[in-house]
Structures are given as C-alpha cells and as structure tokens.
Amino acid sequence: MAIDLATPVVRWQKSHGRNDLPWQATRDPYRVWLSEIMLQQTQVVTVLDYFARFLQRFPDVRALAAAHLDEVLGLWSGLGYYSRARNLHACAVQVVKLHGGEFPRTAEALQTLPGIGRSTAAAVASICFGERVAILDGNVKRVLTRVLGFNADLAMAANERALWAQATELLPQRDLPRAMPRYTQGVMDLGATVCTARKPACLACPVAELCVARREGQPENYPVKTRKLKRSAQSLWLLWAQTRTGAVWLRQRPTPGVWAGLYCFELFDSREALEAAVPEKYRAELQDDAVFTHVLTHKDLYLHPVRVQLPARALNAAGGWHAADVWPQLGLPAPVRKLLQNG
C-alpha cells in the first residue's frame, strides 16, 4: 500500500522547515537555480555570503551572462568545484541567447542547459513553477531510502532508477502550485536538519511512524552504496615568482585539470622541474616555504610553495605579471589566494 509522505512533509515544512534562507523568499528561478548550484557539495552556512555577493554583482541572469568568465570565477574563488562556476556562466549565456532571458518552465527543458542535472532541474521546476517532478539529491536519497527501507545498492544505476520511480510516486497529488514548492523544500530540509547521516533525530521526525529504518533501529545503514571512489594524492611545486614591485606571475590553468580556468602560480611535478623553469642565475635565490595540504573531493594535494624575486622579463612561460590590486578580480584557487593574502 502506498504511503502518504507528502502531507506530513508539507505540514512540517510550514512550521519547522528552513523558511528564512534568502533564496526562499521568492519563486524567482534565477535565485533558486543559483542557490541550487552553490549548494551542491557545499554547506548552507558557506553559501550564504557567496549568494549575497553574487546577487549584488549579478542581480539577474542577464547581468551574469554579460560578465566575463574571469570575473565569475573571481567571485566564486574559495567555494570550490569550479566547474560549477563555468557551467553557471555558460547556462546564463544560453538562457539569454536561446530563451530570451527567461528560464524554461519544465524540468525536461531545464536539463538541456549546461550544468543542470535531473535533480537540480526538478528543484527549479517544482519550487518555481509547481511542476510535479521529484528531486533526488544526497539529503533526499537518505530520507527516502530510510522511510521506504530501500536497501538496494545505489551504486548500481538500475537501483537508482528504481528509487527515482518511487520518489515520483510519493509526490503530492493535488494543489501542486502550493504543495510542490513546500514538499520539495521540506524533504530537503528534513534530510539536512533531522534525518542526518549520523545520529538522526528520529523523535523529531514528522514521518517517523512511516519509517522502515526507524522500526529496524538502524537508520544509519541507509542509503546503501558500496562503490566508493578511492582517494589519491599528488605533490605539486608552486613557483611563487614576484617582482620588486609586488606583482606575481600567474597563468590561467588549462581545461581539464586541477583548477581548470583559474589563475595560478606555475605548477610542477618536482622541485627539479621548477628549477629548470627559472633562469640559472636566479636559482640560488629560490626559497622553500612550508609544505601544506589542500583537500579536493577525491584527492589530497601536497603543495610546496617556492618563492623567488625575478625581473619582469625573466620568465618565458605562458602567463603574465599581475599586481596586487587585480588579485581580487581574478579566479584564484583557494590555496593560492591564501598564500597571497598571508604574504
């Protein structure tokens, strides 16, 4: 027998959900889309400041589309997962060029835009336009697999498709313009604040009576996903070249690769390779800074900054000298920005 998940979730969201986030005050698809992209792999508390800065600089999709990608990457710097920023800009350009500056109103059409996958498209379409489509981000997967007792391995595509189908069956059936925004936001809120990965607050859960995992007493066993990406490690040497006036040598990183599209010190796989890139007469002046670790999604980077002061014409590599007053406008990887800020 089908369960009624929608009614208690909608009721709970009205009184206990997160109703004070800045992107919830409107059904503007630009703001909802921007928040959804920023929230991928990123905590709400981190997103808040970036969201406000983006809206101040790019108040609508036309302003974002008209901007240079470097400026977008500059504002995004520190938020990580920079392919999101590149797709964000590309998506804005397409919305303006192909759709007259108006976001498509269906999830199917939204998925044709750069960087918008099935769940993000459904979030925008359901929240902004009341379309009856399911989302299935990490929080929602956790809620649904626990409520349903769905113990199939989500690392297998067929099992994930089956969960999508069940997620669709559980959607509200009536009053969709009102119910769908509440339900979509509610099930996300539930996963983020109550049905958490560790130590879920089952006593505060509005759907506890429906939940198979709670009856089993093992909610942390859900969702099941056996295939995990292995972490790797990489050591990189950063040539921190600087002129007497304080300008630093930065090169825009190629795509694809680490920090693609961002401005960065020259990177090398070894100290010897770095030395070879510096004119011989200056190699004795190379100074090693403290090694530190920067953590990416599935890789640990061991970074070795090496400083040297050079005349402006000393380097032949692709790149250029950038004075301190332009650094804030450049898309810089977080560790490079931190090094420059700390001097």
The whole-angstrom separation of Cα 326 and Cα 51 is: 22
What is d(CA 152, CA 166) in angstroms, rounded to the nearest whole number?
Answer: 13
Q: Is the dihedral of CA 58, 177, 14, 197 positive or negative?
A: negative
Tokens of 175: 């009053």
Computed on alpha carbons and rounded to an integer, the radius of gyration of the chain in Å comes to 24
93-97 own/partner pairs: CB under 8 Å, 24+ apart: 93/65, 95/61, 95/65, 96/61, 96/62, 96/65, 97/65
Does 108 participate in catalysis according to the annotation?
Answer: no
Q: Of 36, 160, 216, 266, which residue is the catalytic one?
A: 36
User: How many alpha carbons lie under 13 Å from residue 304 in its C-beta half-sphere?
Assistant: 16
CB contact at 8 A, 235 and 269: yes
Q: What are phi and psi of 12, to 5 degrees?
A: -65, -40
Active site residues per annotation = 36
